[in-house]
Amino acid sequence: MADNKVEISASIMCIDWLHAARQLEILEKHGIDYLHFDVIDGRFAPDFTMGSSIINKFRDRSKLRSDYHLMVEEPNQLFDCFQISPGDIFTVHQECCRNLHRDLVTLRRLGARVGVALCPGTPLEMLDYVIEDVDVILIMTVNPGFMGGKLVPQTLRKIEKLRELISDMHLDIKISVDGNVNFANVRNMVAAGADILVGGSSGLFRSDMDLEDSIKRLKDCIDEGLQQR
């Protein structure tokens, strides 16, 4: 069930690559919960991001749990490319899996906390018959692809509806939110029911603010959102 702990997952595709080691230290120092790794194949979503060799380098340098987000067609072909440790989240898109339930079962056997992601236009009803088998549902609040996408406002209502569904079914599922997680939107996302926020270029790794300052501001906005629940 939902609690009052909202976790932060730092989107590594948005990190300052010239100062990545230092920024990893800051993320750990200030209690960030996960490193969020976006894997994009250029087919389901535009752009390309990190491969497994780069991701594993970050894992070797950090004690933080991993939060994998695969935006690729038929992600099961890549499952064996990644290291999975207890507590890691591994999320695949409903829109990408020909046999979603089979993929979720495979991930569970590999030891992951299992996640399913939904694009803005994908209804919650697409989770029928698999929702009991997931630990995390990731709501995309922008269309997947490049950094800095614009918030799709209807997705806030989608978060609220999902929170009600989880509560009505008495399930222990976390709601993760990814896309335009900036200071203005965080309060509403948390108030709507978000449990995990993916911090990227608009909220965490900002060009106009030191990372330590943006972490503090983000946490303040989370507290404000919790007061509105």
3-state SS string for the chain: CCCCCCEEEEEHHHCCHHHHHHHHHHHHHCCCCEEEEEEEECCCCCCECCCHHHHHHHHHHCCCEEEEEEECCCHHHHHHHCCCCCCCEEEEEHHHCCCHHHHHHHHHHCCCEEEEEECCCCCHHHHCCCHHHCCEEEEECCCCCCCCCCCCCHHHHHHHHHHHHHHHCCCCCEEEEECCCCHHHHHHHHHHCCCEEEECCCCCCCCCCCHHHHHHHHHHHHHHHHHCC
Q: Which residues are catalytic?
A: 38, 178
